[in-house]
Copies of this chain bind each other. A is one copy, B any other.
């Protein structure tokens, strides 16, 4: 069966923050998510009652970087195991979609001021969802040691 394709239209963009992606040190980065003018500011009504936001965005700056779906070492680190694209969160992935949780600083009109979003300036945002505690795991969580290593300085200031 052929896979159906979908068209996705950005609901907004990331403004400010970093202009290039770096592997680490995203924790103190401040940016604004500016929603499109076709949405009224009341599309954000009530968002400030939540402390955190889940942002779904596009890794638009990748260009034509090839997407390797097969198993490889994350960040080229041969001391970490080879894992497939669906077992890691690398940017060069099918559909180039990132999902990230950041802190809501304040909401002003069509602008959501955030802290600790790992998306660069100009990133198209395809959805915003309030971060809901109950949507997290309902059973014990575990993960392999390599991802703990990888994340060690990710949010450092």
Contact = CB atoms under 8 A, between A and B. Distances in A.
A7 to B, nearest CB: 5
Give the interface residue-count category, chain A: 35 or more
Interface in A1-54: 3-11, 27, 35-36, 39-40, 42-47, 49-52, 54
Contacts of A134: 147-148, 151, 154-155
B87 A45 contact: yes
B128 A86 contact: yes
Interface of A: 3-11, 27, 35-36, 39-40, 42-47, 49-52, 54, 56, 58, 69-71, 81-89, 93-95, 97, 99-101, 103, 116, 124, 126-144, 147-148, 151, 154-155
